Amino acid sequence: MLTPGGHRRFALADLQRFSESQKQLRLTTSLEQNWADQALLRTRQEIIGQRQESWLAAFDEADRQQKRELGRRLLGVTLRYVSLAEGGDDLLQEAETIGRAQAENALGLGLSLVEALQAMLFFRDTLVEAAMQMPEAWRVRPEANARLVRRINQLLNAVQLSIAGLYEQAKR
């Protein structure tokens, strides 16, 4: 409301709703960023223990660098996707593109579909496990965490189906 003197006046209830929505927005943003930080840390730690796995042993340093770049891209896309309340079809398409690049790389190395999916599942597991630890570590409400895990799974399903699809095309 505008007073005759040109000053704005707001109802207390409106200010409280606005304050609460801003607080929720900051909480949501920090939840996703905390998850991404934990997922990246967890991935780095876990990769050390996986060095003997056939899918990882097949990578030379250039391949590892390419995988790191694709992993960073995928983590960034995932972070943007989970930050949205809904939608994000463009991000799902970008995830599919990353999945095809992962498959092309794996095919070029002579990896089987199983080995290519093992690499993707390793990445997926670290992202989901980081999300599963969020409620305990960050006092996250269960429904917020369930939404986070659901969005992660939706995006990574697109990546895995893209990998399998490219392998199927290559087989024909």
Domain count, the chain: 1
Is 99 contained in some domain? yes
CA distance 36 to 76: 8
> Is there a domain that residue 131 lies in?
yes
Domain contains 88: yes
pLDDT tens per residue across span 34-77: 777 777 777 777 776 766 676 667 778 888 788 888 888 988 89
For residue 65, the domain's CATH number is 1.10.490.70
Residue 156 · residue 78 · CB < 8 Å:
yes
Residue 47 lies in a domain: yes
Range of the domain at 131: 33-171
| Rounded Cα gap, residues 8 and 2, in angstroms | 5
Residue 82 belongs to a domain: yes
Q: Which of 7-16, 97-106, 125-134, 139-148 has the lowest mean pLDDT?
A: 7-16
Residue 86 resides in a domain: yes
Would you say the pTM of this structure is higher than 0.85? Answer: no
Please check whether residue 8 lies inside any domain of the structure. no
Q: Is there a domain that residue 165 lies in?
A: yes
Phi-psi region at 3: left, alpha or beta (left = phi > 0; alpha = psi -120 to 50) = beta
